[in-house]
Structure 1
Amino acid sequence: MSGQGSPKLTVDGSGMRVVVIAAQWHTEIMDALLAGARRALTSAGVTDATVLRVPGAFELPVAAARVAASRPDAIVALGVVVRGGTPHFEYVCQAATAGLTEVSSRTGVPVGFGVLTVDTERQALDRAGLPGSDEDKGAEAVEAALATARVLAGFPAVSK
């Protein structure tokens, strides 16, 4: 299981402004990831959170780039890509991963990576934070983004 060895993060998100960008493909899984993200935001004390919906995982980087220009404390990207019978899976996963990494590195705004890249829908359901799921990747992405934002809060923002 990918969650083995993960840190238990307790994050104070009070006073932080967070934008969650969520894809729309795979409604049941995405709704669960978004619910997990919302639970984690509430648990961390975040009261200034905006949710944006984009069509799919491929659109997450452009949305994150636009949002990062407004200088939120953190961005959380949520999506799911299930392997099919064509190379489309690799292209979308690579574009989402590289694009979100580039946004975070270029702007200095932490981006929580909650994009499930799985072989089967069952694997996604097991990570979506549903009752009976092994993991809650929506919540984990929020916790990682907030923890990183707290760590970096004492350092000046990147300006370009």
Structure 2
Amino acid sequence: MSGKGAPELSVRNVSDLRVAVIAAQWHEKVMDGLVEGALRALGELGIDEPTLLRVPGSFELPVAAKVLASRGYDAIVALGVVIRGGTPHFDYVCQGVTQGLTQVSVETGVPVGFGVLTCDTEEQALDRAGIEGSTEDKGHEAVTAAVATAATLRSVSEPWH
């Protein structure tokens, strides 16, 4: 079941990290909740001036993440929502976004927090959006995962050559 088994992440001393949040614009109520959760998490971590960039939809998240990764950000958080409809569109968009964001992270070495909801119904998305009545806050979780990974990577020493 979604939301079960999540790790308790302890993230400290990260206020100097440059973090960008990229958010799609489709499904405004869900997206507003995801963005609010992400910004709240960043504030709790002492990251007071994150970059917030809005793109038209979830499919545009990977290209924006790639550009931001090339501009020196330590972590990127991608927020979006894709709700299943009656056509294969859902499958293509979800697959493209997931593969694109993974590719950005692996190729650049910049952690990308995956806050893209892939839901069967709008109700499922609202339940994960971190708004009043939600059982989960995926925007907050995506920030925590990306920043915790950036902190872990920063702690790894450069090898001697």
C-alpha displacement of 1:8: 1.7
SS at match of 1:48: coil
**1:42 aligned partner:** 43
**2:149 aligned partner:** 148
Query: What is the correspondence of 1:119-134 to structure 2 with a 5 Å cutoff?
Result: 119-134=120-135
Unpaired runs of 5+ in structure 1?
none
**1:78 aligned partner:** 79
For residues 154 and 102 of structure 2, what CA distance do their matches in structure 1 show? 19
SS at match of 1:113: strand
Q: Does 1:25 align with 2:44?
A: no
Query: What is the correspondence of 1:58-97 to structure 2 with a 5 Å cutoff?
Result: 58-97=59-98
Q: Deviations over 1:109-148 (max 9, x none)?
A: 0000000000000000000001110100000000000000
SS at match of 1:46: coil
SS at match of 1:25: coil
For residues 156 and 99 of structure 2, what CA distance do their matches in structure 1 show? 24
Contact 1:16 1:48 in 2 (8 A): no
SS at match of 2:3: coil
Q: Structure 1: which amino acid aligns with 2:35?
A: L
For residues 72 and 83 of structure 1, what CA distance do their matches in structure 2 show? 32
**2:4 aligned partner:** 4
C-alpha displacement of 1:47: 2.0
Q: Deviations over 1:50-77 (max 9, x none)?
A: 0000000000000001111012110000
For residues 73 and 156 of structure 2, what CA distance do their matches in structure 1 show? 15
Give the TM-score, by structure 1 length.
Answer: 0.95
Aligned CA distance change for structure 1 residues 5 and 91 (closer, same or farther; 3 Å)? same
C-alpha displacement of 1:156: 6.8
SS at match of 1:112: strand
Identity %: 65
For residues 112 and 72 of structure 2, what CA distance do their matches in structure 1 show? 12
Q: Structure 2: which amino acid aligns with 1:37?
A: A
Contact 1:15 1:47 in 2 (8 A): no
Give the TM-score, by structure 2 length.
Answer: 0.94
